[in-house]
Amino acid sequence: MTIYEVIKRPIVTEKGVAKKDGERTLCFEVAPAANKTLVKAAVEQLFKVKVADVRTVSLAGKLRRRGKFSGYRSDWKKAYVRLKPGQKVPEYAEI
């Protein structure tokens, strides 16, 4: 997998931005098949920073309804990437 297949998008939510500012932790949606080693290598290569640790969580898709029709959203995976001390936090969540 390429780094752009591993990291799908940054998650820019209130919780994600607070973690980024306070704990030097970045939050990304990643490929479901990606492991922690692939995520770490992709972030280091893409943002030119050193990664301290990676935590991942697999989330099940929610049931969604449109009138009488129902279906499930896709399952997805989220990664929290903490940077080593002294590394500059990339600014992708500018509002």
- Interval 36-83: pLDDT, tens: 999 999 999 999 999 999 999 999 999 999 999 999 999 999 999 999
| DSSP E strands, the chain | 7-10, 25-30, 51-59, 63-66, 69-72, 76-83
Which residue segments constitute the domains of the chain, with CATH numbers given? 3-62+73-83 (3.30.70.330)
- The answer to whether the CB of 13 falls within 8 A of the CB of 80 is no
Q: Give CA separation, 24 vs 20, 53, 87, in Å.
A: 5, 11, 9
pLDDT category of residue 91 using cuts at 50, 70 and 90: confident
Query: Which pLDDT score, from 0 to 100, does residue 76 have?
Result: 96
- The answer to whether the CB of 19 falls within 8 A of the CB of 27 is yes
CA distance 70 to 53: 38
